[in-house]
Amino acid sequence: MHGISKEILKLVRASKALHAIKDRPRRTQAAFFDDVDARDPEYDTEQIYFQLLRDIGTNVEMRVIVDIIAGASAGGINGAMLARALSHDLRVEALRKLWIDNADVSVLLASEARASTWSKWFLRPFIWVAAATAWFGSIQDLEVRQKLSLFVRSRWFKPPLDGRVMSALMYDAMNSMGEARHPQASLLPSGQSLDLFVTLTDYHGYEELVQIHDPPLIHELEHRHVLQFGYRRHANGQAESDFGLENAASLAFAARATSSFPGAFPPARILEMDEVVAQRRGTWPARDSFLENCFADHIRAGVDPATVPFIDGSVLNNRPFQEAISAIRGRPAYREIDRRLVYVDPHPLSPVSHRGARMPGFFATLRGALSDIPSSQPVAEELDRVF
């Protein structure tokens, strides 16, 4: 998914570079690397997108803009990184090394949970047999087998992965993208905006009061939560942004919390991010505004947002189409546009025949009720609102 989000960024980057050439005859002969160092590892496929858009431009002048991003879990992580890069035209090459070196079970395992050489030694033969057969798609890579063994033999009945290490990884990732080259640096044109929606699940939930007739009030718990970040670039070039370095910790928390997979990671709390920022000797200037803007319902209910435990956003809202589609209504259109809703499915499935005649077993029913069915909500109703 990181690779796909990078390609989206490169497409938008190439489109901006093409439209920055005001001389139309020169534009038809231009190449992306005319003004960019081809040896810079940050740039590669931009040249392909540039040529494609240049050729299309002989018939239709088109600029590609991404102005709404919504995601949960891994989609929330990559969506936050992509939104920050788009808003301030930032480099993302450092993220690749960060993921390869640190987004690894051997790094993320909590020190007190890590299996020793003889931990659950009796499982080793079963793990290797399972990895070599169709149970796990025949895992041939020795390193993958070793890390699978390490993970399975590590602590049970408590999250084996270290939440603070994950928070630090997200914080480092946001900071590794650096700062905008100048205040007006952006891949969005003047007058355009970008909205990011990241879903979380509030483990305890906050109380909501609903007025009815008898009794006059009923009490409900709301567990769904959506964090919204925005970038607004005004016609004069000035920008209002939630994606600057001053808000890096907020974005890092969103990435950590939305991917806090139950059982693997402990729930995420803002207090944990406070500790990471202090450990890194960093600052969080936008902390108060982040809490005020993104946790108004908790504050209204008398709950301190910093202490609230959040788990993976995909538990209750795995496909936040509604948030993305609702944001379309507020988008300006001063010329003809062709808007595309792009859904990146991390686990695409081939069409399956109806299995209504077959009764599910005990464990299949539990898995379907607790995991598979809730994470597979249809999106047809949300799309109908657009069409």
Calculate mean pLDDT across residues 96-106.
79
Boundary residue ending a domain (25, 45, 64): 64
Per-residue model confidence as pLDDT tens digits over 274-294: 999 999 999 999 999 999 999
- Token pair 């041939």 is at which residue? 140
Assign 155 a pLDDT band (cuts: 50, 70, 90).
low
Contact predicate 280/244, CB 8 Å: no
Give pLDDT, residue 260: 93
Tell me: pLDDT of 101 over 50: yes
Contact predicate 224/258, CB 8 Å: no
Boundary residue ending a domain (48, 64, 80): 64
Assign 103 a pLDDT band (cuts: 50, 70, 90).
confident
Across the chain, what does the average pLDDT equal? 85
> Which contacts (CB < 8 Å, 24+ apart) does range 176-180 have?
176/94, 176/95, 176/98, 177/81, 177/84, 177/85, 177/90, 177/91, 177/92, 177/94, 177/95, 178/90, 178/91, 178/245, 179/88, 179/244, 179/245, 180/88, 180/89, 180/90, 180/244
Contact predicate 1/82, CB 8 Å: no
Q: Is there a single domain that holds both residue 36 and residue 164?
A: no
Give pLDDT, residue 42: 94
Q: Is there a single domain that holds both residue 315 and residue 231?
A: yes
What is the number of domains present in the chain?
A: 2
More confident residue, 207 or 387: 207
Q: Is there a single domain that holds both residue 82 and residue 32?
A: no
C-alpha distances out from residue 65 to 108, 190, 385, Å: 35, 12, 22
What distance in Å separates the CA atoms of residue 278 and residue 164, rounded to the nearest whole number?
A: 12
Per-residue model confidence as pLDDT tens digits over 180-198: 998 889 999 988 899 999 9
Q: Is residue 371 part of a domain?
A: no
Q: Is residue 101 part of a domain?
A: yes
More confident residue, 115 or 375: 375
What distance in Å separates the CA atoms of residue 92 and residue 5, rounded to the nearest whole number?
A: 10
Q: Is there a single domain that holds both residue 32 and residue 152?
A: no
Q: Is there a single domain that holds both residue 54 and residue 175?
A: no
Q: Is there a single domain that holds both residue 59 and residue 168?
A: no
Percent of the chain predicted with pLDDT > 90: 49
Beta strands 193-211 and 68-71, pairing class: parallel
Report whether the peptide linkage leading into residue 215 is cis, meaning its omega lies within 30 degrees of zero. yes
- The size of the chain, in residues, is 387
Burial of residue 173 (CB within 10 Å: 0-12, 13-18, 19+) is: buried
More confident residue, 10 or 209: 10
The predicted model scores a pTM of 0.86
Q: Is there a single domain that holds both residue 80 and residue 59?
A: no
Percent of the chain predicted with pLDDT > 70: 83
Give pLDDT, residue 291: 97
The full 3-state SS of 263-302, as one line of letters, equals CCECCECHHHHHHHHHHCCCCCCCHHHHHHHHCHHHHHCC
Q: Is residue 352 part of a domain?
A: no
Per-residue model confidence as pLDDT tens digits over 223-252: 999 999 999 988 887 899 999 999 999 999
Per-residue model confidence as pLDDT tens digits over 288-315: 999 999 999 999 888 999 999 999 998 8
Q: Is there a single domain that holds both residue 221 and residue 337?
A: yes
Token pair of 29 as six digits? 């002969």
Q: Which domain holds residue 42?
A: 1-64
Q: Is residue 368 part of a domain?
A: no
Q: Is there a single domain that holds both residue 282 and residue 322?
A: yes
Assign 118 a pLDDT band (cuts: 50, 70, 90).
very low
Per-residue model confidence as pLDDT tens digits over 48-87: 999 999 999 989 889 999 999 999 999 999 999 999 999 9
Assign 216 a pLDDT band (cuts: 50, 70, 90).
confident
- Range of lowest pLDDT (42-51, 150-159, 212-221, 261-270): 150-159
What distance in Å separates the CA atoms of residue 347 and residue 134, rounded to the nearest whole number?
A: 18
Q: Is there a single domain that holds both residue 91 and residue 52?
A: no
Residue 306 is classified by DSSP as G
Q: Is there a single domain that holds both residue 6 and residue 102?
A: no
